[in-house]
Amino acid sequence: MMQWDLTQAFALFLHTLGYWWVIIPSVLLGILVGAIPGLNAANTIILLLPLTLAMDPEVSMFFMVSLYCATHLGGGIPAILINVPGTGGAAASTLDGYPMALKGMGQQALAMSFVAATAGGLIASIATLLLLPFLSRIGYYVHSVEMVVIMLFGVILIAAIAAKNMLKGLIAGVFGLLLGSIGADTIYSAPRATFGFLELFSGLPLVPVLIGLFAISEALLMIEHEIVASKIGAHDKDAVWAQTLEGIHMAAQRWWHIVWTSFIGLFIGIIPGAGATIASFVAYQQSRMYSKTPELYGTGHPEGLIAPECANNGVGPGTLVPLMAIGVPGGDTAAVMMIVLQYHGIVLGPRLFLTTPNLAYGVFIAMLLAYLFMLLTILPMTRYLSRVTVVSSKYLVPIIIAFTLVGSFAPREYGFDMVVALVFGILGYLCRKTGFHVAALLIGVVLGPYIEQNLMRALRISNGDASVLFSSTLGNMLWAMLVLTLLLPWLRQWWIGRAATQPRA
- What is the distance between the alpha carbons of residues 291 and 297, in angstroms, rounded to a whole number? 9
Residues in contact with 420: Cβ distance below 8 Å, sequence separation at least 6, in sequence order: 204, 205, 208, 209, 212, 408
Q: Which residues contact 34 (CB under 8 A, 6 or more apart)?
A: 40, 41, 70, 71, 72, 73, 74, 75, 76, 77, 86, 87, 90
Q: Look at the chain and count its residues.
A: 505
Chain segment 2-42, per-residue pLDDT in tens: 555 677 778 888 989 999 999 999 999 999 888 887 677 88
Judged against a pLDDT cut of 90, whether residue 65 lies above it is answered with yes
**Nearest one of 230, 238, 243 to 99, comparing CA atoms:** 230
- For residue 502, is it within any domain? no
Q: What per-residue string of b and e applies to 181-216 under the rule 16 or more CB within 10 Å gives b?
A: bbbeeeeeeeeeebeeeeebeebbbbbbbbbbbbbb
Q: How many CB atoms lie within 10 A of CB 224?
A: 8
Integer Cα distance of 243 and 123 in angstroms: 25
Cα of first residue to Cα of last residue in the chain, in angstroms, is 63
- Max mean pLDDT among 109-123, 172-186, 326-340 falls in 109-123
Round to whole Å and give the CA distance between 405 and 418.
6
Q: Which residue has the higher pLDDT, 1 or 263?
A: 263
d(CA 11, CA 388): 43
Query: Is residue 414 assigned to a domain?
Result: yes
Which of 297, 304, 252, 256 is closest to 283 using CA atoms? 304
Q: Dihedral sign, CA of 493, 495, 496, 498?
A: positive
The total number of structural domains in the chain stands at: 1
pTM of the model: 0.80
Query: If pLDDT is split at 50, 70 and 90, which confidence band does 504 have?
Result: low
Residue predicted with more confidence, 229 or 158 = 158
pLDDT recorded at residue 140? 65
pLDDT value, residue 311: 95
pLDDT band at 215 (very low <50, low <70, confident <90, very high): confident
pLDDT value at residue 62: 93
- The pLDDT of residue 467 is above 90: no
Q: Are 132 and 321 in contact (CB under 8 A)?
A: yes
Reported confidence tier of residue 253, pLDDT bands at 50, 70, 90: very high
What does the pLDDT average to over 204-230? 80
Strand partners, 266: none
Domain with 163 in it? 6-497
Percent of residues, the chain, with pLDDT higher than 90: 26
- For residue 182, the 8-state DSSP code is -
User: In this structure, is residue 1 part of a structural domain?
Assistant: no
Distances (CA, A) of 89 to 22, 233, 316: 25, 27, 11
Mean per-residue pLDDT for 487-496?
74
The tens digit of pLDDT for each residue in 294-343 reads: 889 988 999 999 999 999 999 989 888 888 877 767 677 887 888 888 88
Highest mean pLDDT (candidates 176-190, 261-275, 348-362, 363-377) = 363-377
Mind giving me the DSSP string for 461-487? Answer: HTTT-GGGGG-SHHHHHHHHHHHHHHH
DSSP-assigned letter for residue 193: S
Largest Cα span, the chain = 78
Over the stretch 369-411, which tens digit does the pLDDT of each residue have?
A: 999 999 888 888 887 787 776 667 777 788 888 888 888 887 7
143-176 pLDDT, tens digit per residue, is 788 888 877 877 776 766 665 677 788 788 889 8
Euclidean distance between CA atoms 264 and 271, whole angstroms: 11
CA 27 to centroid of chain Cα atoms? 18
Query: Of 20-24, 231-235, 236-240, 453-457, where does the model show the most confidence?
Result: 20-24
pLDDT in tens, 265-297: 998 888 766 678 888 988 998 898 888 888 899
pLDDT of 418 higher than 50: yes
Which amino acid belongs to residue 498? Answer: R
| Collapsed DSSP state (helix, strand, coil) of residue 192 | strand
- Nearest CA to 387 out of 85, 86, 77, 117 is that of 77
- For all residues of the chain together, what is the average pLDDT? 84
> Which pLDDT belongs to residue 144?
82
How confident is the model over 93-119, as a mean pLDDT? 91
**What is the helix (H) or strand (E) element at residue 184, kind and residue range?**
strand 183-184
- Whole-number pLDDT of residue 48: 84
CA 314/CA 275 separation, integer angstroms: 10
Most confident range, picked from 93-97, 277-281, 293-297, 435-439: 93-97
Chain centroid to Cα 280, Å, comes to 5
Using the predicted structure, report yes or no on whether residue 438 has a pLDDT greater than 60. Answer: yes
Whether 504 is in a domain gets the answer no
Backbone angles phi, psi at 468, to 5 degrees: -60, -25
CA distances from 379 to 52, 65, 172, 364, 372 (A): 29, 21, 37, 23, 11
Can you list the alpha helix ranges (DSSP code H) found in 200-351? 206-210, 217-222, 231-236, 241-253, 255-270, 275-289, 302-326, 332-343
392 three-class SS: strand
Higher pLDDT pick, 186 / 126? 126
Please list, residue by residue across 273-301, b when 16 or more beta carbons sit within 10 angstroms of its beta carbon and e when fewer do. Answer: ebbbbbbbbbbbbbbbbbbeebeebbebb
Residues in a beta bridge with 44: none
| % residues pLDDT > 70 (the chain) | 91
Task: Check whether 449 has a pLDDT greater than 80.
Answer: yes
What pLDDT does residue 235 have?
Answer: 44
pLDDT of residue 433 exceeding 50:
yes
